[in-house]
């Protein structure tokens, strides 16, 4: 006699439930660079993987990282993330890592060529916007940035304040 499969709460067979569409991996935010969106005008963003050591991943799982001073730089045909601080774990003293070591970004060749062309423009740089786990992989969101002057930031604040006043006035008018 064949074993009877127990149905799921919806009444469907368990195997049928598992064979459905794959769930999207969970995104767990590790660090954000709020200053980058304030100090730079971000024209494009890109998600890249990172080549990390095991002790770095363990340190990130403990929620310890700083990307505030980070930037990315092209070296040959590779994009390297510099200035990102991932502190070493005290438990991993023997096989620790250098906290500010350069880390290789994993990109498709076409994306790398495209960003290489965009970086040739004067005044552009690549800054990390966020660092997160996507499933079990560590990803970094990079932004193509041009610096904002103090006047640009003031104008942006004035525009935001004007939009806020219009929104509040329309809410009061209801």
Confidence of residue 2 (pLDDT cuts 50, 70, 90): low
- Asked if residue 173 is part of any domain, the answer here is no
Q: What residues contact residue 58 under an 8 Å CB cut-off, 6+ apart?
A: 89, 92
Give 64-115 pLDDT, tens digit per residue: 888 889 999 988 889 999 999 988 877 766 677 888 999 999 999 999 999 8
- Measured between alpha carbons, how far is 148 from 126 in angstroms, rounded to an integer? 14
Whether 128 contacts 103, CB under 8 Å: no
* Structural domain includes residue 3: no
CATH number at residue 61: 2.40.280.10
**The pLDDT of residue 142:** 93
Is residue 36 situated within a structural domain? Answer: yes
The answer as to whether 155 is a domain residue is no
CB-CB contact of 118 with 131 (8 Å): no
The residue behind tokens 């991932």 is 86
- The range of the structural domain enclosing residue 116 comes to 24-148
pLDDT tens for each residue of 115-155: 888 888 888 889 999 999 998 899 999 999 888 777 777 88
**Is residue 156 a part of any domain in this protein?**
no
Are 20 and 131 within 8 A, CB to CB? no
In a domain, 40, yes or no: yes
Quick: pLDDT tens for 4-57: 555 555 555 555 455 556 777 888 888 898 888 888 888 889 999 999 988 888
What is the Cα–Cα distance from 105 to 77, expressed in whole angstroms? 11
3-state secondary structure 11-29: CCEHHHHHCCCCCCCCEEE
Residue 111 inside a domain? The answer is yes
Rounded to two decimals, the pTM is 0.72
Distances (CA, A) of 16 to 1, 19, 29, 144, 150: 21, 5, 32, 44, 58
- Asked whether the beta carbons of 103 and 80 are under 8 A apart, the reply is yes
**Would you state the structure tokens that stand for residue 168, as one six-digit string?**
């509040």
Residue 75, domain member (yes or no): yes
As for how many domains the chain has, the answer is 1
How far is Cα 133 from Cα 138, in angstroms, rounded to an integer?
5
Q: How far apart are CA 131 and CA 31, in angstroms?
A: 5
């Amino acid at each position: 006699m064949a074993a009877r499969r127990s149905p799921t709460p919806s009444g469907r067979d368990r195997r049928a439930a598992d064979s459905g569409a794959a769930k999207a991996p969970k995104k767990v935010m590790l660090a954000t660079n709020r200053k980058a969106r304030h100090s730079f005008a971000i024209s494009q963003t890109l998600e890249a993987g990172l080549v990390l050591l095991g002790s770095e991943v363990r340190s990130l799982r403990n929620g310890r990282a700083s990307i505030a001073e980070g930037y990315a730089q092209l070296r040959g045909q590779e994009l390297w993330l510099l200035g990102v601080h991932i502190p070493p774990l005290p438990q991993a003293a023997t096989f620790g890592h250098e906290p500010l070591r350069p880390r290789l970004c994993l990109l498709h060749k076409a994306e790398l060529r495209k960003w290489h062309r965009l970086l040739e423009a004067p005044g552009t740089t690549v800054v990390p916007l966020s660092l997160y786990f996507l499933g079990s992989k560590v990803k970094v969101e990079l932004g193509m940035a041009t610096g904002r002057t103090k006047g640009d930031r003031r104008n942006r604040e004035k525009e935001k304040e004007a939009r806020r006043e219009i929104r509040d006035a329309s809410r009061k008018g209801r």
